[in-house]
């Protein structure tokens, strides 16, 4: 496990799925984790309590990441409480799937605002404190559909493709201050979102994966932790697929 001892890490959308795995993994690696949830605090409270029972540090924050004001306030709160911010994981994301001819403007806007604009506003918010520190890590959680596309997901695919451009541009802009920016692009991951699929649908997806199985959220979290850690000290602007060879 990559050491994140005493690093202050912010994870958006950290109360379930991949985000929850990232929160738990980073806390276990010694980080002081702050994470967001959008509506119900029930699962967020459970995560915090479970980690506290192990003497691990996590704090939850209600935050609508689609609101620039909420995001700015979140980062200011964390920096004031901790005195620094060492890592940001832009993980929050939603889907509003549908064929393009039937997709409503609000479905497009909701996905772009939550998945892409929030990563921009959060990265903008952490840039100043990280530049003062001359140190920082930003990890964007993309998707292989940002590279391959996917029918019925023009909004989601566009948002994840946008994260790749955001990653590469920020990496060039911030590298001189030792702020490293990378993107992790999962393939098919077993989460509560995919639990809604039937067994037949799951098997159909997994047939196309060279490794013949879906990823676990923890397998994504370990890669994110690498990018947050000192072990990735000369890596920036990269997109690393965690997809079992699906996009190879």
Q: What is the CATH number of the domain that holds 26?
A: 3.40.50.720
For 61, other C-beta atoms within 10 Å of its C-beta total 18
223 belongs to a structural domain: yes
202 belongs to a structural domain: yes
What pLDDT is stored for residue 60 in this prediction? 97
What pLDDT is stored for residue 203 in this prediction? 84
Give catalytic status of residue 156 as yes or no.
Answer: yes
2 belongs to a structural domain: no
92 belongs to a structural domain: yes
Q: How far apart are CA 4 and CA 55, in angstroms?
A: 15
94-111 per-position pLDDT tens digit: 999 999 999 999 999 999
What pLDDT is stored for residue 198 in this prediction? 76
Question: Are the C-beta atoms of 52 and 28 separated by less than 8 Å?
Answer: no
Assign 94 to helix, strand or coil: coil
DSSP 15: S
1 belongs to a structural domain: no
53 belongs to a structural domain: yes
Q: Which residues of the chain have pLDDT under 50?
A: none
200 belongs to a structural domain: yes
Look at the chain and report how many structural domains it folds into. 1
Question: Are the C-beta atoms of 45 and 20 separated by less than 8 Å?
Answer: no
Q: 97 is in which domain, residue-wise?
A: 8-241
As given in the structure block, the two tokens for residue 245 are 């060879």
What pLDDT is stored for residue 162 in this prediction? 98
Distances in Å between the Cα of 118 and the Cα atoms of 31, 121, 122, 212 are: 23, 5, 6, 33
Q: Report which of 184, 181, 183 is spatially closest to residue 236, judged by C-alpha positions.
A: 181
158 belongs to a structural domain: yes
As given in the structure block, the two tokens for residue 226 are 């690498």
Which residues partner with 36 through β-bridges?
61
Whole-prediction pTM? 0.95
What pLDDT is stored for residue 191 in this prediction? 83
């Amino acid at each position: 496990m990559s050491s994140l001892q005493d690093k202050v890490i912010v994870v958006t959308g950290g109360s379930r799925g991949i985000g929850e795995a990232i929160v738990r993994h980073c806390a276990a690696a010694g980080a002081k984790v702050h994470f967001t949830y959008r509506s119900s605090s029930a699962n967020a409270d459970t995560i915090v309590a479970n980690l506290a029972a192990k003497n691990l540090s996590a704090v939850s924050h209600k935050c609508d990441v689609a609101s620039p004001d909420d995001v700015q306030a979140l980062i200011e709160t964390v920096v004031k409480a901790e005195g620094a911010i060492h890592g940001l994981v832009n993980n929050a994301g939603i889907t509003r799937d549908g064929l393009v001819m039937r997709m409503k403007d609000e479905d497009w806007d909701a996905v772009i605002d939550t998945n892409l604009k929030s990563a921009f506003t959060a990265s903008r918010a952490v840039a100043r404190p990280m530049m003062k520190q001359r140190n920082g890590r930003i990890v964007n959680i993309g998707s292989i559909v940002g590279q391959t596309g996917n029918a019925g997901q023009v909004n989601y695919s566009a948002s994840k493709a946008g994260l790749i451009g955001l990653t590469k541009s920020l990496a060039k802009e911030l590298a001189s201050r030792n702020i490293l920016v990378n993107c992790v692009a999962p393939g098919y991951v077993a989460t509560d979102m995919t639990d809604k699929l039937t067994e037949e649908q799951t098997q159909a997806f997994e047939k196309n994966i060279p490794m013949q199985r879906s990823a676990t959220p923890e397998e994504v979290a370990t890669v994110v932790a690498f990018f947050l850690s000192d072990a990735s000290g000369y890596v920036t602007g990269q997109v690393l697929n965690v997809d079992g060879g699906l996009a190879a």
